[in-house]
Chain A
Amino acid sequence: MEKLGINLGFFLFQVFNFTILALLMYALAYKPIVRLLENRKNKIAQGLEDARVAAEARANAEKEAKAILAEAQNTAAQKVREATERAEIAAKEIIAQAEAQANKILEEARLEAAQERDRILLELRGQIASLAIAAAQKLIGEALDEKRQHALIEEFFSGVRAGKVVVLEGVELSGSSAEVISALPLLPHEQEAVKRDILSRIGEQSTVSFRVDPSIMGGLVVKVGDKVLDGSVAGQLESLRQSLQ
């Protein structure tokens, strides 16, 4: 052993030296460095964890924001739709109202115009009769019986003879309503007579309306149900013309 250099003293010195060195190095180097390494590792792990949490929170926030946005968009769309609908309804109402009003105004105007015309025509009727008698006197050269003349003219205009409507002679009538068209407005007693005559034929519950149409020139046109009884001068002239041809 001695020749190999192994010496108990040196050996123990080396062991002792190693022990001291290990203790010193442990206190001075290993402990602080290992603690530092562990701290660093923990810090990095903590940092990564924080980053992960932050990323998660951000993702959640983004999702929430998206949801809020979507809801807001929905609400807005709904509001717009409702407003549009309401506006449309309002517009339709306004239009309908305006149309109704316009129609009403038109109707009133028309009615007024018809009444005015009827009034004028009624005023004219006496003059027309006088003019017709004067013309006839001039043509014939002698004075006709004034009363008879008037009766003739009245009959011409009203189509009523002796309380009976001329066109209705010998005709079967049925229907719920009747319309009487005359060239000039009928006098109240004539209207009464026509009405009575028609009602006696088709029933008391029916209605009779009167209209003025100067284009038929004279006589009466009576529409009952689907039947048209043309006793007008224009109609007679037309039929005359057709038969002449």
Chain B
Amino acid sequence: MSEQPTQKRFNLRTLIIYLCIGAGIYSAFIGPSILKPISPVVVLPAEPTGLAIGGFQITNTILATLLADVILLAIAVFVVGRFMRSGNLVPSGFYNAFEALIEFLWNTVENAAGKWAYRIFPVPATIFLLIFVANLIKLVPGFESIGRIKEVHHGYGYAPVLLAKVGGLSIYTIDKGQRREHVAKEGKEGKEGGHGASHEEESKLCEACEIVPFLRGSATDLNFPFALAFVAVLMTQVYGVWALGIGYFEKFIPIRQLIKGGAMGVINFIVGILELILEFAKILSFGFRLFGNIFAGTLLLSIVGALTAVIVPVGLYFFEVFFGIIQAYVFYLLATIFISSATVSHHAEGAH
């Protein structure tokens, strides 16, 4: 390929790349205003998608989490399961990559936890895989850009433009050229949408609209990282009690040392209480680290995407892939270390 680059310059792939860049430049700077990218609306809480199971609103982040679950389970069933049934000894293809990933995780856990590795492995491994997949599928186009349109609560919205009608489904986009102020109206919010709204009257459609995506990165909702952090810290306690019995809690409330140790005992007692507080701080730290990185990444991506629609976001996408993996790894590594250190007796080292 590299032998005669001058002849290969105008091959199909390069042509497609040039066409994409050209289309990006056209839509962002030259073309009609409906093609132009818009600045995102920064919303912290997850938005409801309109779907509900028995009164339980499914938010877009929960939908994304479920999607990640489905992907993981599909890998487990169709890739791992098929390989296990085939009885092959030599791994190949996608299974090989997945096995290499699991082997890497397993080696880390085994190094950290030793004989407890078998028992604690599912927790950090699932944490890693779930964050990993959630962070990567977040970057697929369509996330955070396809959804219902609805009236903005405050700030600016844009006028909806009908694109096409497929059966009863009306597909809208919003026009950057028609920016409208939010008009406070009563009873005009909530239900209107461009999707499956055949029973709704078109006149009920929003005036100043924003898009509520169906799918939004799981880690951009605080519930997801905090749930994982909570599970990690909770499991740390569970494994600690499993390994050391009820004596595990001596770590937090060293009553024996308080009675026996004198002045040092008092200090140790206070240190123990501090450790107890640190356990809760761990949840905060775990959760906000993942959330902060991913949320900031998403925000950066959409803001830069709105400013310069071409070329620059590509580099940021690389960054996002990288950070997604790094955050998953950090979360996993910290969970592994905390859990495995909980299985080791605190007193054993103090007794020497």
Contacts and interface: CB of A to CB of B under 8 A. Distances in A.
Interface of A: 2-7, 9-15, 17-19, 21-26, 28-30, 32-34, 36-37
Contact of B72 (A10, A12, A19, A21): A21
Contacts of B80: 28-29, 32-33
Given A28-B76, A34-B102, A10 B223 contact: yes
B interface majority secondary structure: helix
Given A17-B69, A34-B106, 5 more contacts: A10-B221, A13-B62, A15-B231, A25-B126, A29-B102
Contact of A10 (B44, B59, B98, B118): B59
A232 B351 CA distance: 135
Nearest to A41: B103
A134 to B, nearest CB: 135
Nearest to B89: A40
Contacts of A19: 231
A4 B45 contact: yes
Contacts of A23: 122
B73 A28 contact: yes
Contacts of A25: 72-73, 76, 122, 125-126, 129
A15 B99 CA distance: 26
A21 B126 contact: yes
B208 interface: no
A5 B44 contact: yes
Nearest to B45: A5
Interface of B: 44-46, 56, 59, 61-62, 65-66, 69, 72-73, 75-77, 80-81, 84, 98-99, 102-103, 106, 118, 121-123, 125-127, 129-130, 221-224, 226-228, 230-231
Contacts of B61: 10
Contacts of B122: 22-23, 25-26, 30
A33 B76 CA distance: 10
Most B Cβ at <10 Å: residue of A3, A9, A14, A22: A14
Q: Which 8 interchain pairs have the tightest Cβ spacing? A: A5-B45, A14-B227, A28-B76, A22-B126, A29-B76, A26-B122, A10-B223, A15-B227
A14 B65 contact: yes
Contacts of B228: 14, 18
Contact of B77 (A4, A28, A30): A28
A172 B230 CA distance: 150
Most A Cβ at <10 Å: residue of B98, B223, B230: B223
Contacts of B129: 25
6 contacts: A4-B44, A5-B45, A19-B231, A25-B125, A33-B99, A37-B106
Contacts of A37: 99, 102-103, 106
A19 B126 CA distance: 9
Contacts of B98: 29, 33
B126 A18 contact: yes
Contacts of A17: 62, 65-66, 69, 227
A30 B102 contact: yes
Given A10-B223, A17-B69, A33 B126 contact: no
Contact of A18 (B56, B121, B231): B231
Contacts of A15: 227, 230-231
Contacts of A33: 80, 98-99, 102-103, 106
B123 A22 contact: yes
A158 B7 CA distance: 141
A147 to B, nearest CB: 139
Given A21-B130, A24-B76, A6 B222 contact: yes
B70 to A, nearest CB: 10
Contacts of B223: 5-7, 10-11, 13-14
A21 B81 contact: no
A30 B125 contact: yes
Contacts of A32: 80, 84
B44 A9 contact: no
Nearest to A33: B102
A29 B226 contact: no
Contacts of A21: 69, 72-73, 126, 130
A80 to B, nearest CB: 58
A172 B44 CA distance: 163
A31 to B, nearest CB: 9
Most B Cβ at <10 Å: residue of A22, A23, A33: A33
Contacts of B224: 14
Contacts of A36: 84, 99
A29 B44 contact: no
Contacts of A26: 122, 126
Contacts of B75: 29
A18 B123 CA distance: 9
A15 B230 CA distance: 8
Nearest to A5: B45
B69 A5 contact: no
